[in-house]
Structure 1
């Protein structure tokens, strides 16, 4: 959690109070998937939520709005351009993950793709656990969307996600992937910086979270969140102070706000005696000439 100048906290709740109910809900759903050797999607409703892809009970892919997927990591890294990616998708008949084409064109090696896909898989599970889980729904499929050839056991993925949350919470200045929005400290003496530090300093603007910076730089959200927390501790980043509340003072004389005077009653409608009367035959007299 960011600490403001003068020791004032950011006002947010503890960013790593694990959603135990949601964690147990997800763990139970994944345990059933493993026991039944389920193949298909496990859709996790929540904030940010996500989708886990399983084959025979093992997790072979995961996606979450809270973490960049392997496609985003490759595109942001500069290994492949957007036009090249679109061409690969067309050549593969619309495949969501054209791994064979990436290797054949020399954009990435098989080992590199495995590392990127495994990192994205763990990153997505971490993002789901760092948020809130509201429910899980299974959707059976014959061929799930797989980014890793060899699936991982669900209990191992959950244990790794909890371990990452625990490691973040142990840092002196822990931050949440989708809450704190730090900016560089004005006039800081940065000294020697790593490439990641330089990237984060150039993109941190006081409006972007760790998740935003992960998508912008093509890095894993866990990696960016850890580095952001360390940079807060090193005095490279800081969080903006909460706005000072405007004091409310009573009016002079101790009087509060006076009630508005009731509006005057509406003007009564005209009485029946004031309405115009129609003379019998007047219409025909007007048509046939001047009134008599």
Structure 2
């Protein structure tokens, strides 16, 4: 299967919309031309895809734990070079998933020598995977989470009452680790970093816990405008915003009409009092 084949919209429905098309197109062109360089993806969280001769050897993103973080997870036992290669491959796929599940602003190539295109901390780099395989893995993950309606980066998580009860129960395992950090200020990305676990694995578990009513999505608080005037000295009054004269800007377009002098013989108009009826 060629890299250009994955650009078909019926094969990449999740990656076939918006700015993700540019990422798919650039990787397809890199594979076709055996390009070497770093494809920098701007956005939130964004990241870098390291490509050598058209093959993706590493993906680094601030939205997902890297190889070092995944290896540092407590209780993990390495079994040698083969295990390191598996972890490096998982990190590359997870980094690509983090980029695609966020907001993509654009892509730009940084041309570097082949020996400089591999990050020094990849421990070790992926031997090299076809871009179409990487994109299909990302597509599969995005489709699997489509029903969850949660952003791994923007939505913060809260404990429900059932979640608090489960957290107080011993032996909760990996769910207990997630519940421990669900304080309304952390997202799936934050928790995956704290636990040194794959972003996709944490997001999948969070979706299941949302379905089980163990977690809830914290409401997004609107940004409060900066105070322009000092608060009144009296603490009993409600702090309502004061309207400043001319704040609407209407006088910048239509200047106020100057006061007109009263002409001689003109009677001043006074409001008529309502008549009393029996």
From 148, 158, 164, give the equivalent of 1:183.
158
From 38, 43, 50, give the equivalent of 1:41.
38
Q: Does 2:111 match 1:114?
A: no
Give the TM-score, by structure 1 length. 0.63
Q: Does 2:202 match 1:224?
A: yes
CA distance in 2, matches of 1:242, 1:27: 31
CA distance in 2, matches of 1:58, 1:124: 15
From 47, 50, 56, give the equivalent of 2:47.
50
* Cα drift, residue 18 of structure 1: 5.8
Give the TM-score, by structure 2 length. 0.66
* Cα drift, residue 49 of structure 1: 1.0
Partner of 2:128: 151
* Cα drift, residue 217 of structure 1: 0.2
Q: Which moved more, 1:129-138 or 1:197-206?
A: 129-138
Over 3 Å counting, the alpha-carbon distance change for 1:229 and 1:257 in structure 2 is same
* Cα drift, residue 19 of structure 1: 7.4
CA distance in 2, matches of 1:132, 1:239: 19
Give structure 1 regions of 4+ aligned residues with deviation exceeding 4 angstroms. 16-19, 191-194, 241-244, 256-260
Q: Looking at secondary structure, tell me which structure has more helix per residue.
A: 1
8 Å CA contact 2:15–2:21 kept in 1: the answer is no
CA distance in 2, matches of 1:41, 1:113: 22
Residue 207 of structure 2 aligns to a residue in which SS? helix
8 Å CA contact 1:76–1:216 kept in 2: the answer is no
Q: What is the count of residue pairs matched by the alignment?
A: 208
* Cα drift, residue 243 of structure 1: 6.2
Larger Rg, first or second structure (1 or 2): 1
8 Å CA contact 2:78–2:84 kept in 1: the answer is no
Partner of 1:97: none
CA distance in 2, matches of 1:258, 1:57: 61
Query: What do residues 53-97 of structure 1 show as CA deviations (whole Å, max 9, x unaligned)?
Result: 111100011101111111111223365xxxxxxxxxxxxxxxxxx
CA distance in 2, matches of 1:234, 1:111: 37
From 25, 28, 47, give the equivalent of 1:28.
25
8 Å CA contact 1:19–1:129 kept in 2: the answer is no
* Cα drift, residue 258 of structure 1: 8.9
Partner of 2:57: 60
Residue 197 of structure 1 aligns to a residue in which SS? helix
Q: Does 2:96 match 1:125?
A: yes
CA distance in 2, matches of 1:231, 1:31: 37
